[in-house]
Chains A and B, each alone.
Chain A
Amino acid sequence: MVQSRREFLKRTAALSAASYVGMTLPFREEGLARAADDTVWHRGSCRLCGVGCRVELGVKDSKPVALRGVPKSRTNYGYVCMKGMLFWKVMNHAERLTTPLYRAQKSDKFKAISWDEALDIAAGKFASAVKEHGNDSVAYYGSGQALTEETYFFQKIFRGGLQTNNVEGNPRLCMASAVGGYLTSFGADEPIGGYADIEKADCMFIIGSNMAEAHPVIFRRVMRRKLDNPEVTIINADPRISLTSRIADIHLQFKPGTDLALLNAMAHVIVKEKLYDKKFIDDYTTFKTGKGDLADLAQYEIFLADYTPEQAAKTMGGKVTADQIREVARRFATSKGTMSFWTMGLNQRKQGVWANNLVHNLHILTGQLLKEGADSLSLTGQPNACGGVREGGGLCHILPGHRLVAKEPLRNQVEEAWGIPKGRIPPKPGYHTMAMFTAVNEKKIKAMWINCTSPVQSLPNCNLYNEGMARDDTFIVCTDIFPTLTTELAANLVLPTAFHFEKTGVYGCTERRSQLTRKAIDPPKGAKPEVWIIREWGRKLAEKLNDPVITQCIKPFEGLEEGYELPKAIWDEYSQKLTKGRDNDLRGATYEVLEQMYDGVQWPAPTEEYALTGGTVKKFVRGMDPMADSHAKDDRPYQFYGPAHPDQKLWIWMRPQADPEEIPDAEYPFYLSTGRIIDHWHTMSMTGRVKELLRANPYAYIEVNPVDAGRMGIKPGDMVEVTSRRGTNVLPAKVYEGPIEGMVFVYWHDQHPDRMINKVTKDAYDPGSKEPEFKICACKVQKVSGPKALKPYIV
């Protein structure tokens, strides 16, 4: 019996793998089917990065027992990385939070209380803050991992109910510069194309992204493309050689913060050698000076005069030659289809929006856009930063459906959809993330709700902001599945939530694709889905503030069962009423449609019939994008109908090279950069509890270039102190030809007080996107001892 079960599992495993590559094995699934009857498969998305891989969770006797990829999904074609394969192991984990915990003072111990008491306290504290200190004394700080229904519902209560735009989320820390870049270059947020371009691209330009570790399944597609077509060019530009560089034909290693010079130098070559697409520029492009004034190609050429490849090579630190820059620019411009990929290396910068603009410039100049195999594709870090937070109204300046808070007619549309009085949503955007935590420090925020994220560990220069969060001046509620550094240090009230697959909702990944995950098992007893928590809290708030408008905000959702009916009603309201006619039109992506799809739907998708085809693969192209047809202003094949560019054109920006906020000097002579490792997710509260993942990478280390290590007498495993003007870490060294000379690199997941690198990073931010410059600061480095035995640390 044991033998046959084993044989059955092995054959199932073989068949699953063979089906992905179309290989025929000498046995078939049908013969095995009967034995599989006891496992029920539930389709959904992986929640551990922005790729959006589709998986099926195998449930047996109400317990998750297996996971497999969905071969027909257009995101991952069945492949799943190790982290994704193991994520479900946190579901039945013994450390799951299962009862509300409360402490009046943050120095007290938590006491288990009932849900009724907990929601009463939460409502009481928010109500009294509003009454005593005004509407802007309360705030919501959410997450790119929350479901769209959750983000949408939270912001509805805060904006419509509590009348504040203090609605933010951790995507401010990762994607805000990409949003700023798309809006200012293309007039509309989110990419034009998507993953489907990978299999058609002939040149891929990867800058500021270690996609091999941060987006492994997409990287697999890039690699497959290269292996099947060795003539495809892969260019990797990064101050650090990473696993991604392995497949690069050309690797450009430059001094941190000098990539704007590289991108301008590539444009210089393209313009000088007339490699641009003249007709595309004439038809679809506007040139803009740095201040936003109108300009033309001749002025742009003058602007680029300073960026000769020779000059840029010098600025970049001398490891890249002028000829390499020319070569890269030529291949970029002349390939049949060029795709760019980037993530935090460009976004988490003081010049984050500018860096994004400069990548888009190259695509606009050369017309490497809108056709198969060509796209300027920002990879998202989190599974629902795009869908929930960017589209669902999760930032202080935007309302659902890509509407700006500042515009009255757009506010009125939202008020009308919610059936609340006109003028109820305040006209002023709220605090952006860094301003919000500064306001906590300044005791201006009296009650704050932190959902599904751990700012105590993830804010830059966190020591500074943790002081405020630890004080009793701000009452803090945390909703989460595990204890985190934030629940421990900052929370007064901890509310245990349902995990992925224990509730229902939609995630929207990198490529404008919304995908549904349905509830497959019950949450542990005592844990509740966020949508239920918001509704129950909202009802108590309405009572305590005696405000019928709050009652109106939750009215459509009263009485609904929370595992499916409630999130469905929220999604219906959002998609049908608030995306109607907007560029992210999701009216066709109803639950009924999403349930039928192996993957999901790419917006715009105004009708169900259209959504069932999968939606829009390429935005702005007539015949491929229904809105390009319905919003066409002339007969041209491309129509840029996005909300931010009144001239309906793509904009090429003149953005100069500019230094990061902090550059090395005599006292702090090194650059510090930080990033992800393949096995861990963010602050490790989940992956640190999966034994296999923890064992693979039990703690963070510091990567030191061998030349620097030699000079400072640092050997592999030695304990190294890294100090900035803000804080210190002590970590074991990895001596490695990764970071460029003069730069060190630290992984940011570790929770241990000695190895929490955000104590050291800098909180300067981009003036446009308000996204902090996590990626670059100045530090000093010294050996403090030989190797030491270390233990992993999870609160």
Chain B
Amino acid sequence: MVVGGFVVQCLPDERNKAAQALSALQGVEVYGDDEQGNVVVVAEADSSGELGEVVKRMEKVDSVLNVGMTYMNMEDEAEQIASGESTPKVFDGRKRKRDSLETP
């Protein structure tokens, strides 16, 4: 599980509309807004990759001008990276790299 904290910037007049549209997105919770058009949002997802997708969806909401990130926790994923579990396997270049290393 990955959790992110965001300040979403909207046009001040449209912040209610924006907050509603944001709440409707999967994994997104709105915690408050103010007169300058700032909306405080928390989003959660299964992985940081998916969280990135949620951010993209937030950015696409009409009247959202900018999604500013302030906090991210991904302690579960950190475990996986440390154990080598989540290294991407897509690189064909890696094979070459290993080629340049003498195998003991």
Q: Is A bound to B?
A: yes
Interface 9-residue window, one of A133-141, A300-308, A690-698, A777-785:
A690-698
Contact status B70-A20, CB under 8 Å: yes
| Contacting residues, chain B, for A694 (C-beta < 8 A) | 88, 90
Question: What chain B residues lie within 8 Å of A68 (beta carbons)?
Answer: 5, 70-72
Contact of B75 among A66, A89, A94 (CB under 8 A): A66
Which residues does chain A contribute within 8 Å of B86, judged by CB atoms? 691
Cβ-defined partner of B78 (8 Å) among A25, A92, A696, A751: A92
Q: Is A111 a contact of B36 with CB atoms below 8 Å?
A: no
Kindly state whether residue A315 has any CB partner on chain B within 8 Å. no
Q: Contact check, B70 vs A751: say whether CB atoms are below 8 A apart.
A: no
**Cβ A10 vs Cβ B82 within 8 A:** no
Known: A94-B87, A224-B9, A488-B96. A80 touches B69 (CB 8 A): yes
Q: How far is the CB of A20 from chain B (nearest CB, A)?
A: 6
A792 touches B91 (CB 8 A): yes
Instruction: Output the least CB separation between B43 and chain A (Å).
Output: 8
Query: Is A13 a contact of B94 with CB atoms below 8 Å?
Result: no
Q: Which residues of B contact A6 (CB under 8 A)?
A: 1, 3, 44
**B26-59: which residues lie under 8 A (CB-CB) from chain A?**
29, 31-34, 36-38, 40-42, 44, 47-49, 52, 55
A677 interface residue (CB < 8 Å to B): no
Q: Hey, what's the 0/1 contact readout for A675-692 against B, CB within 8 Å counting as 1?
A: 000000000000001011
**Residue of B whose beta carbon sits closest to that of A67:** B72
* Residues in A neighbouring B99, C-beta threshold 8 A: 109
Asked if A607 is at the interface (CB within 8 A of a chain B CB), the reply is no
Residues of A at the B interface (CB closer than 8 Å) are 6, 9-10, 12-18, 20-23, 25, 58, 60, 63-69, 71, 78-82, 85-86, 89, 92-95, 101, 109-112, 220, 223-224, 227-228, 483, 488, 689, 691-692, 694-696, 698, 751-752, 791-795
Instruction: Tell me the interface secondary structure of chain B in the complex.
Output: mixed
How far apart are A621's CB and chain B's nearest CB, in angstroms? Answer: 31
Chain B positions within 8 Å of A695 at CB level: 49, 52
Which of A16, A82, A483 counts the most B-chain CB atoms under 10 A from its CB? A16
Closest-CB distance, B46 to chain A (whole angstroms): 12
CA distance A694 to B88 in the complex (A): 9
Q: Once bound together, how far apart are the Cα atoms of A31 and B5, in whole Å? A: 18
CB <8 Å contact, A10 and B42: yes
**How far, in whole Å, are A64 and B72 apart by their CA atoms in the complex?**
12
Whether A23 pairs with B102 at a CB distance below 8 angstroms is: no
In B73-93, the 8 Å CB interface with A consists of: 73-75, 77-79, 81-82, 84, 86-88, 90-93
Of B9, B42, B55, B96, which is in contact with the most chain A CB atoms at under 10 Å from its CB? B42
Chain B residues near A (Cβ < 8 Å): 1, 3-7, 9, 11, 29, 31-34, 36-38, 40-42, 44, 47-49, 52, 55, 65-66, 68-75, 77-79, 81-82, 84, 86-88, 90-94, 96-97, 99-102, 104
A793 touches B3 (CB 8 A): no
Task: Give the residue of A65, A101, A791 whose beta carbon is less than 8 angstroms from that of B101.
Answer: A101
Residues of the B chain whose Cβ atoms lie less than 8 Å from the Cβ of A791:
90-92
Taking the nearest CB of chain B, how far is it from the CB of A218, in angstroms?
12
Apart from A13-B3, A25-B31, what are 15 other A-B pairs with CB-CB below 8 Å?
A13-B5, A16-B70, A20-B70, A63-B78, A79-B70, A86-B48, A89-B78, A92-B78, A95-B94, A101-B101, A227-B11, A228-B36, A692-B47, A791-B91, A793-B92
Q: Specify which chain A residues have a CB less than 8 angstroms from the CB of B40 in the assembled complex.
A: 14, 17-18, 21, 23, 25
The answer to whether B37 touches A794, judged by C-beta atoms less than 8 angstroms apart, is no
Closest to B56 in A: A696
A79 to B79, CA, bound (A): 25
Residues from chain B with Cβ under 8 Å of A85 in the complex? 4, 69, 72
Are A17 and B41 in touch, CB under 8 angstroms?
yes
Residue in A closest to B75 when the chains form the complex, CB atoms = A65
Asked if A63 and B90 sit within 8 Å, CB to CB, the answer is no
Tell whether, in the assembled complex, residue B82 and residue A63 are in contact, meaning their CB atoms are under 8 Å apart: yes
Query: A489: nearest residue on chain B (CB-CB)?
Result: B100
Residues on B with beta carbons closer than 8 Å to the beta carbon of A752: 93
Top-10 shortest CB links A-B? A13-B5, A16-B71, A65-B75, A94-B84, A17-B5, A109-B102, A66-B73, A21-B38, A14-B31, A92-B82
